Amino acid sequence: MRKNYLLTPGPTPLPPEVRAAMARPIIHHRTPQFQAVLKEAAEGLKFVFQTKNDIFILASSGTGAMEAAVINILSCGDTALVVQGGKFGERWTEICKAYGVTPEVLDVEWGKAVSPAELEKRLKANPKIKAVFVTLCETSTGVVNDIAACGRLIKDTPALLVVDAISGLGAIDLKTDDWFCDVVVSGSQKGLMLPPGLGFISVSPKAAKFIEVSKSPRYYFDLRKAKKALDKTDTPFTPAITLIIALNEALKMIKQDGLDAVFARHRKLADATRAAAKALGLELFAPLAGSDVVTSVKVPSGLDGEKLVKTMRDTYGVTIAGGQAELKGKIFRFAHMGFIEEFDIIIGISCLEKVLAQMGYEFPMGAGVKAAEEIFLK
Ligand SMILES: *Cc1c(COP(=O)(O)O)cnc(C)c1O
């Protein structure tokens, strides 16, 4: 017998309402019944994105929405500024290169947030920059970037601000309109409490003009086709019907709680996780810019970080994430995003303590759980 606990930064656990919605009989998508589903999804997404902009729902993972962003607003030979402070910033660079867009890379030390002053300097230095790609929560390092500050710097320039909010949306604040985000992309399997399979992309009126003139090759992700369909409450291809029905359940839950309550819950879960790590004598990887979405923690020297994650998962059924690329074995990432509550954190911390103890790491047993409980009691 084995119970499993998922504390990874995507996929995240599914609420029972979402799972039940996916068990409903399938319906046809060119029907008034499905149009009602699409209409509800559009309204719910606008609420979560905090925008009046159009939002397109794609049958893809989050990366599909990233690719859609690049090809619909930029053309071969264009230049874009990419904020690159981890694996997911690098993905923007790779997609740009795949389509002949020249990425000007603003390298940020992994574990730190982008400096708005640096961004402004780079933007001013190259008037050819047509778009700036930034990651809301750089999931590979746990860092949250100041999107509001980026928006203030970019809004009065000819460039677009494109935000990867795949792991932050529905968990931490992102005011698409008030922060002047022209394009925001997200995915279903992180803060939105759904399985993988949906990509989302919002488009501001400023960005819509870019879409009209882009010369990039595009077919499945052509947002001109998607816009024509959206205006008729339709989709250009067969949508992921079941996932969109489930999306409405998840959006309903977020709406019922209210965005502020959802963000406050994530803040508390993150505070408890950070406090627990410190109480165990562990060091946070991003102490100054840690997100409320995922907490990255340095593996103590002399300990095998990959073994730690593997033992928690394979022996005790608690899945957290290890480090990626250059951080492999050096950090572990403890996610607290989506359908996660206080006692999920307690279980995760308790398991972490058990495995740390078994691996010979010395600390006051129970200190992590106690520190988390103290945050939750506040
Ligand atoms: C998960 C994630 C992605 C990749 O999304 P997929 O759904 O795996 O394609 C991109 N960016 C960030 C910040 C993420 O957290």
Nearest to 99 by CA among 139, 130, 123, 55: 130
**How many CB atoms are closer than 10 A to CB 342?**
16
pLDDT at position 2, please? 84
**How many CB atoms are closer than 10 A to CB 277?**
24
Task: Decide: 102 in ligand 1 pocket, CB within 6 A.
Answer: no
pLDDT at position 1, please? 79
Closest Cα to atom 5 of ligand 1:
62
pLDDT band at 351 (very low <50, low <70, confident <90, very high): very high
Task: Decide: 69 in ligand 1 pocket, CB within 6 A.
Answer: no
Instruction: Using most ligand atoms within 8 A of CB, pick from 63, 136, 200, 296 the residue to mutate for ligand 1.
Output: 63
Interval between CA 62 and ligand 1 midpoint (Å) = 5
The helix (H) or strand (E) run that includes residue 293 is none
pLDDT, tens digit, 9 for 90 and up, residues 6-35: 999 999 999 999 999 999 999 999 999 999
Task: Decide: 93 in ligand 1 pocket, CB within 6 A.
Answer: no
Interval between CA 8 and ligand 1 midpoint (Å) = 12
Start-to-end CA distance of the chain, whole Å, equals 35
Residue 290: both structure tokens together? 């840690």
Task: Decide: 140 in ligand 1 pocket, CB within 6 A.
Answer: no
Nearest to 105 by CA among 76, 80, 136: 80
Q: Nearest 5 degrees, angle CA 101-CA 105-CA 111?
A: 135
pLDDT band at 189 (very low <50, low <70, confident <90, very high): very high
CA 66 to ligand 1: nearest atom: 10
Amino acid identity, position 149: A
Taking the CA atoms of the chain, what radius of gyration do you get in angstroms?
21
Task: Decide: 92 in ligand 1 pocket, CB within 6 A.
Answer: no
pLDDT, tens digit, 9 for 90 and up, residues 280-335: 999 999 999 999 999 999 999 999 999 999 999 999 999 999 999 999 999 999 99
Share of the chain above pLDDT 90, in %: 99
Q: Which domains does the chain have, with CATH numbers?
A: 5-10+259-377 (3.90.1150.10), 16-256 (3.40.640.10)
Closest Cα to atom 12 of ligand 1:
166
